[in-house]
Structure 1
Amino acid sequence: MKLIKTLPIGLFSLCLLLSISVFAQKRDIYELKTYHISSPEQEAMLDSYLEKAFIPAAHRNGVEKVGVFKPISSQEDAGTKVYVFLPFKSIGDWEGFEDKLLKDKTYLSDGDAYINAAFDHPPFDRIETAVMRGMSEHPHFAESKLTNAKKDRVYELRSYEGPTERLYRQKVKMFNSGEMDIFENLNCSPVFYAETIAGPRMPNLMYMTTHENMDIRNEHWDQFRVDPAWLGMRDLEEYKNTVSRNDTRLLYPAEYSDF
C-alpha cells in the first residue's frame, strides 16, 4: 500500500525531470537569407526596407535580434550580397513568422516600397535561403561580445559540406566533441553553430565567429592551427575526409544590424 501511495509522486518527479531535460536540449532554428543584388540602387532599397520596416516588425513579432551582414571590401562579392540572419526558438515560430508579417499593418505600410516594387525595378535579383538547427553542444544563438565599431569588425561565416551524409555527421560530431570549444577558448565570440536542414548546399553545417578586425581574425586562425586540442583531433581516423568544400565569407555588420 505504501508503494502504491508513493508511486504518483515518483511518476510526477520523473515527468518533471524529463520535461526539464527536453527543454534543456531544445535547439534554436535559424534562417539565413542571402540577397543577391547588382546595383547600388537595389542595395539602398534593401537597406531602407530592412532598417525601417523588416527589423522593427521582426522585433514586434517575436524575433529579438536580427543580424544583417555584407561582404568586406576585399571580398570578390563585395557589393553584390546582403545576408540576413534570424534566430527562432522553435520550428513553429519560424513557420508562423511570415504570416505574422503579412498581418502587421505597420510593416506593410513601412515596407511598401520594397513589398510593392515593380517587376522591372526589383530590390534584389534573387534570394537564397538556408534553414538550420543549432548544434547539440551550442544549441542557442549568442550575440557577439564585440564592442568595437561595427565597420571594423569581421564576422566569419563558414559552410562545411560533407562528401557523404555519414561523413557530414562525423564533422558535426567533431564540432560537438571539442572543435567549437577551441574557438571559444580563443575568444572568437561565436554567434552560432548549426546543422543545415534545408538549403542549396547539403549536407553541410554552418557557423559564424566574430573578430575585432582582420588582423585579429588572422591571429585567431594562426592560434587555432597550432592549438594542442586541434592537433589532437584533426588526424583521428574517424574525422578524416569529412569536408569536401569549405566556403568562407568575411562579412561586416550593417550599422542598423542588431549585433
Structure 2
Amino acid sequence: MSLGFIALCFFISSNLLAQKRDFYELRTYHIETAEQEAMLDEYLEKAFIPAAHRNGIAKVGVFKPIASEPDAGKKVYLFIPFKSMDGILGLAAKLAKDQTYQTSGSSYINAAFDKPPYKRMETSIMQSMTGQPKFAESKLTNSKKDRVYELRSYEAATERLYKQKVKMFNSGEMDIFEKLNYSPIFYGETIAGANMPNLMYMTTHENMDVRNAHWKAFSADPDWAGMKDLAEYKNTVSRNDTRLLYPAEYSDL
C-alpha cells in the first residue's frame, strides 16, 4: 500500500469527520419573577455550565430578551451544542453522577414545589444544516449587554416547503449572511419542537443600529435578489418568529 494512498484515505476520513453535523438543544425557560431569574442565573453560571464543560461541551450559550422586547424579563434561553444525539440523551445521566454539579446546583435541583426556578420549560432539538455543520462563536468583541443576538424560526406550511427553505440556506442564503458579517452562531433543522416544520438560526450584531443596517444591506444584496424570486423558493416561509436577545455576562457564546 503506497504512502500516497494512505494519505488520501486519511484526508478523506478527516474531511468526513470535519463535516459531521452538530446537534443542538435549545431550552426556553419561562419565568415570572426576578427571583426566578436570579435562581436560573446562579444555577446556569455556577452549576450547569461548569458541569457541561467537564462533560466535553466546550461552549454553552445563555441569552435573554433585550429590554425593548415584550417578553423582556420573562424568558431565558439556553443553547447547548452536542456532537451527537447520544450526547443529548446521555447528559442527564452524567449530571446525576456529577457530585460537584449536584452540590453547586442544589438550590435549583431541590427547589420546593411552591418556589420553582421557572414557570415552565420547553425544548427544541435540532441538527445543524450542512452549510454550517458546526456551531461558531460570535466574532463580536463589544460589551455583551450592548449586543443584539437575533434568533429566528422560519415555519413552513408543509414539510416539502420547509425542505426547500433549508435548501435555500445551504445554497446561498447563509453565504450572504457571512459576506455581510452577520457572525452567525448556528443554523438548525428542527427535529423535535413546538412549531414544526421549522428551521432556526441565530445571527449576532454589535447593537440595534448595526442589526438594522445588516438587514437593509441584505435586502439590497444582488445575490439575494438573484435567488429570492426563484420558483423553487416561493412560499417557503409561512411564519417568521423573530426574537431579539443579548448574551448573559457568563454565557460562553
Q: Give the shorter-chain TM-score range.
A: over 0.9
Report how far residue 94 of structure 1 moved.
Answer: 1.7
- Of 176, 179, 188 in structure 2, the residue corresponding to residue 182 of structure 1 is 176
Q: What CA distance in whole angstroms lies between the structure 1 residues aligned with 2:145 and 2:11?
A: 46
Report how far residue 22 of structure 1 moved.
Answer: 3.1
Q: What CA distance in whole angstroms lies between the structure 2 residues aligned with 1:86 and 1:24?
A: 19
> Residue in 1 aligned with 2:24?
30
- Of 102, 106, 109 in structure 1, the residue corresponding to residue 103 of structure 2 is 109
1:236 and 2:230 matched: yes
1:139 and 2:133 matched: yes
Counterparts of residues 9-158 of structure 1 (less than 5 Å): 19-158=13-152
> Residue in 2 aligned with 1:172?
166
Q: What CA distance in whole angstroms lies between the structure 2 residues aligned with 1:17 and 1:203?
A: 36
Q: What CA distance in whole angstroms lies between the structure 1 residues aligned with 2:72 and 2:66?
A: 6
Gaps in structure 1 of 5+ consecutive residues: 1-5
Report how far residue 102 of structure 1 moved.
Answer: 0.8
Q: Tell me the alpha carbon deviations over residues 175-234 of structure 1, each in whole angstroms, 9 at most, x when there is no partner.
A: 000000011011010001110111111011100000000000000000000100001110
Q: What CA distance in whole angstroms lies between the structure 1 residues aligned with 2:85 and 2:11?
A: 23
Q: What CA distance in whole angstroms lies between the structure 1 residues aligned with 2:12 and 2:63?
A: 39
Letter of the structure 2 residue corresponding to residue 146 of structure 1: L
Q: What CA distance in whole angstroms lies between the structure 1 residues aligned with 2:249 and 2:10?
A: 44
Q: CA RMSD in A?
A: 1.7
Which stretches of structure 1, 4 residues or longer, exceed 4 Å deviation after superposition? 8-18
Q: What CA distance in whole angstroms lies between the structure 2 residues aligned with 1:137 and 1:231?
A: 20
> Residue in 2 aligned with 1:3?
none
Q: What CA distance in whole angstroms lies between the structure 1 residues aligned with 2:88 and 2:124?
A: 12
| Number of aligned positions between the proteins | 253
In terms of Rg, which structure is larger? Answer: 1
> Residue in 2 aligned with 1:253?
247
Report how far residue 27 of structure 1 moved.
Answer: 0.2
Letter of the structure 2 residue corresponding to residue 32 of structure 1: L
